[in-house]
Amino acid sequence: MAIKRFVAGVVCPKCGQSDVIRVWQQPEEQKQYRECVDCGYQDSLANDIKVNVAKEPDTRVQRQAVVEVQTVRFIEPS
């Protein structure tokens, strides 16, 4: 069961809104997903890449979103 959580300060690469990005993880896929609840943007990242929107090509968004994504903890069923 994936837990979706908002990541404060992350700017959506598509619509530019902040605080609209949710991330979650699919343990069986070893991937992290993120989505924008505002415009519907969605993508996935390799598991070891932090959700840290550093490669913003859009320079008008100058805010440095130094966001440490909290390690998503999963409750192991066993």
Give residues in contact with Zn ion (CB under 5 A).
12, 14-15, 36, 38-39, 41
Residue 53 Cβ, how far from Zn ion at the closest point, in Å? Answer: 11
- For residues 15 and 49, which CB has a smaller minimum distance to Zn ion in the complex? 15
- For residues 6 and 74, which CB has a smaller minimum distance to Zn ion in the complex? 6
Sheet with strand 5-6: strands edge to edge: 5-6, 21-26, 31-36, 42-46
- For residues 37 and 72, which CB has a smaller minimum distance to Zn ion in the complex? 37
**What CA–CA distance (Å, rounded) separates 2 from 40?**
18
Q: Find the distance separating the first CA and the last CA of the chain, reported in whole Å.
A: 14
